[in-house]
Structure 1
Amino acid sequence: MNNYFSSDFKLGILGGGQLGKMMLYETRKYDIATSVIDPNPEAPAKLAANYFEVGDIQDYETVLKFGRAVDLLTFEIESVNVEALQQLEKEGKKVYPSSQTLLQIQDKAVQKQFYKAEHLPTANFDVFTSKAELTEAILRKEISFPFVWKACKGGYDGKGVSVIKKQEDLISLPEIACIREDLVPFKNELAVIVARNVSGEIKTYPVVEMEFHPTANQVEYVLSPARISAEVAQKARMVAMRVSEAFRHVGLLAVELFQTEDDEILINEVAPRPHNSGHFSIEASYTNQFEQHLRAILNLPLGETKQKLGAVMVNLVGDADYTGNVYYQHIEEIMKMPGVTPHIYGKRETRPFRKMGHVSIIHEDLNEARKVAEHVKTKIKVISKSK
């Protein structure tokens, strides 16, 4: 086994956003040296990295040069140059999750076709190369309303996803490759974080339940463990593990799921990295998701995934009416509440619905934690003093 701790070993991270920043809490804990690259000179991860570089992580040469200077490469965002990762792997560089895993996930059409080929449960779908092709299929009555439209590439945080109920809803859609998906009647949106190390050791975190903002299509609350039966929870964890095994992924895989009206579990989509639905683990789990990602990619023993207490996570997003230098109004009020921990991501500029931080609420009683979360949500406001 390599000596990663207090040594010359260098871990490279593509992307220096809040996920990179939170990963660096753990590299600091273990004294693992890091190099981080991000296009933003003020990226949140800048302060905690041993070495920070400003660069375009979608540029082939930039990623190649950066990757050659480290011992192992990981990423905190999917939109990176996969061809550069493939070349680095050819040169013998360790890249986890692998370029192959990323290729199968980056494009939602490829991802959905992968589930179909692997006989993994997911909603019915069709792939279209353009909006024009989709519109033609509707005119030929091959497709009926309502359905879910998803951009094949580049969607995140609710962007690139729309529910299409009528012809007029198509007007605002961009002219890009997309998928049409059945609108699934579901009881719950669930997620499971799966960790898998290089040797194939695999563990899952408890199933979480996600409550979404009605207009922004962003997660508002994550409750862990989900308020579902033991049977449904077991089924969700089994599906998530099957997905992980099929992708042969290394690191963390966040598997977003639907629990249908008749308790079937369908895969919505996945992310091959630490994820918003795993933030509860920082306060509530024996091993948080960021440490677990490091353990997995470094082929160390995976940590315990059990929870100490019930947890609810609230996303802090920019108020719809404000843009400018961020100000967290009433943050002192929520900090007085027992079991409440705010996490501030380090973005100086707030914009409507931009993810600026999150708040964890832990309590022996999950329903009590949910009530406190509601209180936190109404109390703290992410605004700007220079409106």
Structure 2
Amino acid sequence: MAKEFYSDLRLGILGGGQLGRMLIQEAINFNASVSVLDPDENAPCKNLCDHFEVGALDDYDTVYKFGKRVDLLTIEIEKVNVDALEKLEEEGIIVYPQARIIRLIQDKGLQKEFFKQNNIPTAPFQLISSRDGLDNAKLQLPYIQKLRKDGYDGRGVMKITNENDKAKAFEAPSLIEKWIDFEMEIGVIVARNQNEEVKAFPCVEMEFNPEVNLVEYLISPSLLPHDIQQRAESLAIKIAEDLQIVGLLAVEMFLTKDGEILVNELAPRPHNSGHQSIEGNITSQFAQHLRAIFNLPLGETQCRTNAVMINLLGESDFQGLAQYVGLEKVLEKEGVYIHLYGKKYTKPFRKMGHVTIVNDDRAKAIETARSVQDILKVIA
């Protein structure tokens, strides 16, 4: 496929959000022509790609027709019509990650079954078809209920702490899993190409916003003991190889208080837990994803320096046309890199951008990141 970089390689991306936007920024370096499908006419990718189409990602005909116009199709969101992707694969369109993997990861129940079948450590779980299934739960309270489908960025997740909580539980098919009193949430991003070359990025430490359960703060590289980092990275590589994925795979994990690593969830695409790699690593996650799906040699993943990433979320009391307060003040600070996603409207806790702070002094990087969090706000 490399020869096509100098002619007319047509790359299609399902989803036009910030992940697609940053993917396009790297795809330009490969001279690829990029087409994007997204339901939002004001999607962040709209003005960056060669062709933008408004359409539903879960509609069979829309996805199929879009896919027929490209040479290679990838995703920036899992909620897409997999039946259409399978048909495109049958007809010779390259789809990476493969449709079967997207289908598996769309369903958290299938993910858990995959972990069990492949001896991948994860929290004990039970699949239930409806809220009534909680009455026959084999797990002791408290536990976590997760919708099998359509949950993301903290949505579709609920903690069941007592019998009264069951009345508010999700009615749709879901899973329940043991509540893990973990020490830390960690993440590893791994890439695999068609030649079966696999490389993992160094393990990162994550802090989640407790109100909306999405990544708010990330530190790279981790200072966890070498043994823990090696186990986490080896586990991510095993999962990529077991799946035989082509592309990028983000693996979110729990580190328990006794040093055990449990896999939480997977994402077969660039991920929030890898944004710091743009400035912090030799190869960014976006460049690595393209290398993987283009079947090119994978890039080196080592950290260049300490990098702290913070998500720039819409303030809780504002909704409307986005305004950024404190931008000039934070850019006066050393090692601050702003990434705004081009979203016209803000709303409470919407991901509007991210900021990466790099510094050879880890403590200074963290200190600067905390001050940026205090200063930079998205209001309306």
| TM-score interval (norm. to shorter) | over 0.9
Question: Which residue number in structure 2 is paired with residue 130 of structure 1?
Answer: 130
1:207 aligns with 2:206: no
8 Å Cα contact 1:3-1:9 kept in structure 2: no
Which amino acid in the other structure matches residue 103 of structure 1?
R
1:230 aligns with 2:229: no
Question: Which residue number in structure 1 is paired with residue 214 of structure 2?
Answer: 218
1:320 aligns with 2:319: no
**Residue 173 of structure 1, CA deviation:** 3.0
Aligned counterparts of 2:246 and 2:366: Cα–Cα separation in 1: 33
Structure 1: tracts of 5 or more residues without a match: none
**Residue 39 of structure 1, CA deviation:** 0.5
Secondary structure in 2 matching 1:209: strand
**Residue 374 of structure 1, CA deviation:** 0.7
From 353, 356, 359, the counterpart of 2:352: 356
Aligned counterparts of 1:298 and 1:129: Cα–Cα separation in 2: 40
Question: Which residue number in structure 1 is paired with residue 162 of structure 2?
Answer: 166
Question: Which residue number in structure 1 is paired with residue 269 of structure 2?
Answer: 273
8 Å Cα contact 2:139-2:177 kept in structure 1: no
Structure 2: tracts of 5 or more residues without a match: none
Which amino acid in the other structure matches residue 306 of structure 1?
Q
1:383 aligns with 2:379: yes
Counting matched residue pairs gives 380
**Residue 158 of structure 1, CA deviation:** 0.9
8 Å Cα contact 2:139-2:178 kept in structure 1: no
Aligned counterparts of 2:140 and 2:201: Cα–Cα separation in 1: 38
Aligned counterparts of 1:290 and 1:168: Cα–Cα separation in 2: 44
Shifted more, 372-381 versus 362-371: the winner is: 362-371
8 Å Cα contact 2:340-2:353 kept in structure 1: yes
**Residue 217 of structure 1, CA deviation:** 1.1
Instruction: Show CA shifts across 1:322-348 (max 9, x none).
Output: 111111111111111110111100111
**Residue 198 of structure 1, CA deviation:** 1.0
Aligned counterparts of 1:282 and 1:169: Cα–Cα separation in 2: 42
Shifted more, 97-106 versus 165-174: the winner is: 165-174
Question: Which residue number in structure 2 is paired with residue 33 of structure 1?
Answer: 33
**Residue 220 of structure 1, CA deviation:** 1.2
1:179 aligns with 2:175: yes
Instruction: Show CA shifts across 1:138-196 (max 9, x none).
Output: 5xxx3421001111011111111122111232333331111100111211100000010
User: Could you state the TM-score of these two structures normalised by the residue count of structure 2?
Assistant: 0.98
Aligned counterparts of 1:89 and 1:358: Cα–Cα separation in 2: 35
Superposition pairs of residues 1-387 of structure 1, within 5 angstroms: 1-134=1-134, 136-138=135-137, 142-384=138-380
Instruction: Show CA shifts across 1:29-71 (max 9, x none).
Output: 2211111110111110111111111111110011111111100
Aligned counterparts of 1:345 and 1:173: Cα–Cα separation in 2: 34
Aligned counterparts of 2:192 and 2:22: Cα–Cα separation in 1: 19
Aligned counterparts of 2:4 and 2:300: Cα–Cα separation in 1: 21
Instruction: Show CA shifts across 1:80-111 (max 9, x none).
Output: 00000011111111100001111111100000
RMSD: 1.1
Large movers: runs of 4+ above 4 Å: none
Aligned counterparts of 2:269 and 2:5: Cα–Cα separation in 1: 22
Which amino acid in the other structure matches residue 281 of structure 1?
S
**Residue 249 of structure 1, CA deviation:** 0.7
**Residue 8 of structure 1, CA deviation:** 1.6
Q: Percent identity?
A: 48
Secondary structure in 1 matching 2:168: coil
8 Å Cα contact 2:315-2:378 kept in structure 1: yes
User: Could you state the TM-score of these two structures normalised by the residue count of structure 1?
Assistant: 0.96
Aligned counterparts of 2:364 and 2:217: Cα–Cα separation in 1: 14
